[in-house]
Amino acid sequence: MDDQAETVLLALARGSGARALSGIPARRGRIVRPLLSLRRKDTVAACQALGLDPWHDPTNTAADGPRRSALRTQVMPALVEVLGPGVVSGLARSAALLQADADELDRQARSALGTAPSSRDEQWRCDMLAALPDAIRSRMIKMLAEHRGAGSLTAAHVHAVDQAHRRLPRPRGGLAPRRLRGPA
């Protein structure tokens, strides 16, 4: 649970969207995290009670370690002191709520992709994209671009593509984006 709270705070600090704010998924493909919903202090206590000597990543407490280390050793204790011990579970609960929302928005975007006039992604017309709610349109732009080989897009990339498509003229019948051939 502590890792989940830290992940949410890091995502907030970066100005991330719902997917990143939904934290660490309990399951992603073959990776399962059965202890994600437990507090760190509880897993440490369970290991001590069972006589287990778990490995502790030295970067977790290093003063010059990653940002998560500073968050873990300085920020989280300060938040707990100021806001109370429920702040960790509150952040984890927010992540779970956002996970459900982000999953549903992704599902709706995939569903809208399935309504394309053609099975070829490049046939999506700008006016059709513009008619979609922002949350669905931005996910569709990301899905379409990444599917066509754009690589992993950030929110800034998606926003730029969205703004560019909104500035295009809207002739009657819509506008079909075309792939331009050029040097790779």
Query: Does the pLDDT value for residue 94 go beyond 80?
Result: yes
* Mean pLDDT of all residues belonging to the chain: 84
For strands 27-28 and 31-32, give the pairing: antiparallel
Percent of the chain with pLDDT over 90: 45
Residues in the chain: 184
Q: Greater confidence, 174 or 10?
A: 10
Q: Which of 77, 74, 62, 91 is closest to 3 using CA atoms?
A: 91
pLDDT band at 79 (very low <50, low <70, confident <90, very high): very high
At 133, phi and psi to the nearest 5?
-60, 150
Identify the pLDDT of residue 173. 54
Domain with CATH 3.40.50.620 in the chain: 2-101
What average pLDDT does range 144-168 have in this prediction?
84
Residue 27 β-bridge partners: 32
pLDDT band at 116 (very low <50, low <70, confident <90, very high): low
What average pLDDT does range 9-31 have in this prediction?
92
Identify the pLDDT of residue 64. 75
Residue 42 CA to residue 2 CA, distance in Å, equals: 11
Residue 78 CA to residue 71 CA, distance in Å, equals: 10
Placement of tokens 């949350």 in the chain: 135
What average pLDDT does range 143-162 have in this prediction?
86
Q: Which of 151, 124, 119, 122 is closest to 137 using CA atoms?
A: 124
Q: Superfamily assignment of 2-101 in CATH?
A: HUPs (3.40.50.620)
Placement of tokens 């099975």 in the chain: 119
pLDDT band at 124 (very low <50, low <70, confident <90, very high): low
HSE-CB at 70 with a 13 A cutoff on CA atoms is 6
Identify the pLDDT of residue 170. 60
pLDDT band at 166 (very low <50, low <70, confident <90, very high): confident
